[in-house]
Amino acid sequence: MRTSLVVLAAAATLTANASQTPLTLAKNGQTSYRIAVAADAIEPERHAAAELASFLKQVTGADFPIVAREAAGDGPLITLGHDGGLGADGFVIETRGQNLILTGGLPRGTLYAVYTFLEDYVGCRWYSSKVSRIPQKKTLAIKPIHDRQVPALEYREPFSFDSYDADWAVRNKSNGHATRLDDKRGGRIIYKGFVHTFYPLVAPEKYFATHPEYFSEIKGKRTHDHAQLCLTNPDVVDIVTQRVLEQLKGAPPQTIVSVSQNDWHGQCQCAKCKAIEDEEGSPSGPLLRFVNQVAERVGMVRPYAAIDTLAYQYTRKTPRLVKPRPNVIVRLCSIECSFSHPLGGSEQNRKFAEDIEGWSKICQRLYIWDYVTDFAHYVQPHPNLRVLQPNIQFFVANGVKGIFEQGSYQSPGGELQELRSWLLAKLLWNPRANVNALMNDFFSGYYGPAAPFIRRYIDLMHEEVARTKHELKCYSPTTAPFLSQPVIAKADALFASAEKAAAKDAALRHRVQVARLPVYYVMMQRERAWKRSGVKWQPSLSGAALRERFFQIADAEKMTKINEGRSMDDFRAATLLPDRRTPAPPPGCDKLARSRWLDIQDDEFRLHRPGQMATLTPDPLASDGVAARMPGDHHEWAVSVPLDFAELAKHPKQPWRISVAVRVERAGNDGVAFTYGMYDTEEKKGYGHHTVKVADVKGDGYAIYELGTFPVNAKRYLWVAPARNPANAKAVWVDRFILVAADEIAHASKSSGPAK
């Protein structure tokens, strides 16, 4: 741990002419202060002066004239300027005599000085793009200030839909690529091609037909299907270098260009690439050697630009020999981690901790791509707030220079989106900030009298995820054990009280209702399964009334995405299907105890690219009247079920006999109809993989297909896929997955005697 966590560095001693007496900036709505800025000040400094004058008037009612510093005279003054020793974002706030000095680095430091003064010493807050708090103080007096702040992180991006707003971003010191910061707001870190750029740089449609050697060799064959580039091909180095230089034409200094792997595996296994991979002990070896070659050539022409690449999935492990050049940024990605535990000092995340420590030893500009939402369910409870600070501190302690916190970035309405964005912005600037104080500040300012109930709800969810020892992933399912019916019932009651407390203020009530959407969402997703399992509960809303209320609030919030790949329109269509009928128990389960079998219906499926590769569709042949239909023109695992069910977690060593009910729309009789199996995400290994030929399909209705008997856990999921054989299997329908405790099967076999 080589980098100090000290981000806020207050002056150790008072400067010789520093003020030791309070300054009264306004009295009874009047002021004698002027705001002084250089006549030739850069645009961000002029905007900083305008913002300061505007907010001070809102606070005090007084007009603070803006004057040229050269002609301002003695004062009293609030003087704005810049200091070359504070980097791009650092600043100093200081009282001197009767004057207040706000100075910062170029281009954003002076802006940050102004907003920090308004926030920390006047009491302003900008909680979201729409909600702020501007205090009313006709008389504004400030105590002596000697405040110097230089951030440890050069790049800070809480990446959520609301955080793109330019005013919110600059006021909360976010300088990331996706923000809408313009020149007057100090600009931003600029990426050319943000991520996964191999194919945009070397397009298969342009090159593969004539130069297949530019792309991965996999199992002895060149391919561009879910593949990468051949990183030892000198022509590929030339093409990528030229494309990068083209992207840098006209770009401002300090621009970052992404040269990074596609968003899947499929690295090249040709003899040259494989030899380097073996020598380096990691696929990151050939990648980094390739990126270094591009960076070296680009650096000769554009010495201030940087080349960004990923340490992601198969390239996460550090190489043995090669080191990134000084103009190479490596972004290490935490996608496999558990986000209910701190990344440092957690056994669940030990491998990731080792990787970051390894990269920190060899990389001068190490960035982090972190994940702070559930991409499968943007509006599902995601209790990760307690790990945000220790994780950021862990990153900074290991020399990280930039952090990208990927949240619900496509739409309003993500779970606690505004709170998480605001909290992250504060921690990315100052990793040692008081998190409890920050959260209480936000709750009070954003939720008003409803704040105590929402704070109790957040504590409830965090305590439950800890109690159940759930490993919170960025794709945790609605069946996760911390989302049990008793917990959701408590959460529902807390929000009922919160809405009552906010009843007299329409805007406040709407914010509380948006915060309640995650609870409604779990109720919608799980209520049928809870009924099937015999749960007795009278929720505040259920059935059609619950769904109507959810979409009413979501529409008012203008939500467009329910998860990363699914629109609200598609989710609405699937959710508002006619109420499913209560299915009969699966064959052979009607006489078993309810705890000894599990009927996983379509409302608990995870669909890949819903509406395209899999769609929930009414089907009178299905056990509950609805099933998932997959067209036969692809072979993706488009229907899957994570085995993260509370019912299964109660019996961790119990083997289960697993089967699936499937029917096939046959158009012919040749080839494969579908495949199915189970996959372990930790072991990276499949179990019980089965292939069903069209000729072997059991009739035209639903048939039960056995997968096998296996122990199950939260790291495993079941899947079904069509076989890309539409001429013979037009579509594949999945009705239900059935799990029966293996000891029940053995008992039933013994009871019935020998087979006849």
pLDDT of residue 652: 83
Look over the chain and give the mean of its residue pLDDT values, rounded to a whole number. Answer: 93
pLDDT at position 578: 77
Q: Is the pLDDT of residue 705 over 50?
A: yes
Mean pLDDT of 230-257: 95
pLDDT digits (tens, 9 = 90+) for 282-341: 999 999 999 999 999 999 999 999 999 999 999 999 999 999 999 999 999 999 999 999
Question: If you write DSSP's letter for every residue of 162-195 in order, what string do you get?
Answer: GGG-HHHHHHTT---TTS---GGGT----EES-S
Choose between 731 and 753: higher pLDDT: 731
- What's the rounded Cα separation, in Å, for the pair 57 and 54? 5
Q: What is the model's pLDDT at position 9?
A: 36
In the chain, the percentage of residues whose pLDDT exceeds 70 is 96
pLDDT of 755 over the 50 cut:
no
The proportion of the chain whose per-residue pLDDT surpasses 90, expressed as a percent, equals: 84
Backbone angles phi, psi at 720, to 5 degrees: -140, 140
Q: Is the pLDDT of residue 425 over 70?
A: yes
pLDDT of 535 strictly over 90? no
Measured in Å, how far apart are the chain's first and last C-alpha atoms? 70
Is the model's pLDDT at 272 over the cut of 80?
yes
76 prior amide bond cis, ω within 30: yes
| Nearby residues of 249 by Cβ (< 8 Å), 6 or more positions away | none
How would residue 745 be classed by pLDDT, with cut points 50, 70 and 90? low
Least confident of 3-12, 519-528, 541-550, 697-706: 3-12
Give the ranges where 19-165 is alpha helix by DSSP (H).
Answer: 43-60, 109-116
Fold that domain 23-150 belongs to in CATH: Chitobiase; domain 2 (3.30.379)
pLDDT digits (tens, 9 = 90+) for 612-623: 999 999 999 999
- Give pLDDT tens digits for 211-225: 999 999 999 999 999
Give the pLDDT mean for 114-119: 98
Residue 4 is predicted with a pLDDT of 28
pLDDT number for residue 254: 83
Measure the CA–CA gap between 646 and 650, rounded to whole angstroms. Answer: 6
More confident residue, 20 or 574: 574
pLDDT of 19 reads 55
Cα-to-chain-centroid distance, residue 683: 24
Evaluate if residue 646 carries a pLDDT over 70: yes
Q: Give dist(CA 415, CA 413) in Å, integer.
A: 6
pLDDT at 6 over 80: no
What Å distances lie between residue 333 and 188, 356, 371, 476, 708, CA to CA?
22, 9, 8, 18, 35
Give the model's confidence band at 748: pLDDT under 50 very low, under 70 low, under 90 confident, else very high: very low
| Strands 99-104 and 77-82, bridge-based pairing | parallel
What's the average model confidence in pLDDT over 215-241? 97
Retrieve residue 136's tokens: 């009313």
* pLDDT reading at 403 higher than 60: yes
Give the start-to-end residue ranges of the domains of the chain.
23-150, 190-330, 453-575, 594-752
User: pTM to 2 decimals?
Assistant: 0.89
pLDDT in tens, 428-470: 999 999 999 999 999 999 999 999 999 999 999 999 999 999 9
pLDDT tens digits along 478-516: 989 999 999 999 999 999 999 999 999 999 999 999 999
Give the homologous superfamily in CATH for domain 594-752: Galactose-binding domain-like (2.60.120.260)
Per-residue pLDDT at 71 exceeds 60: yes
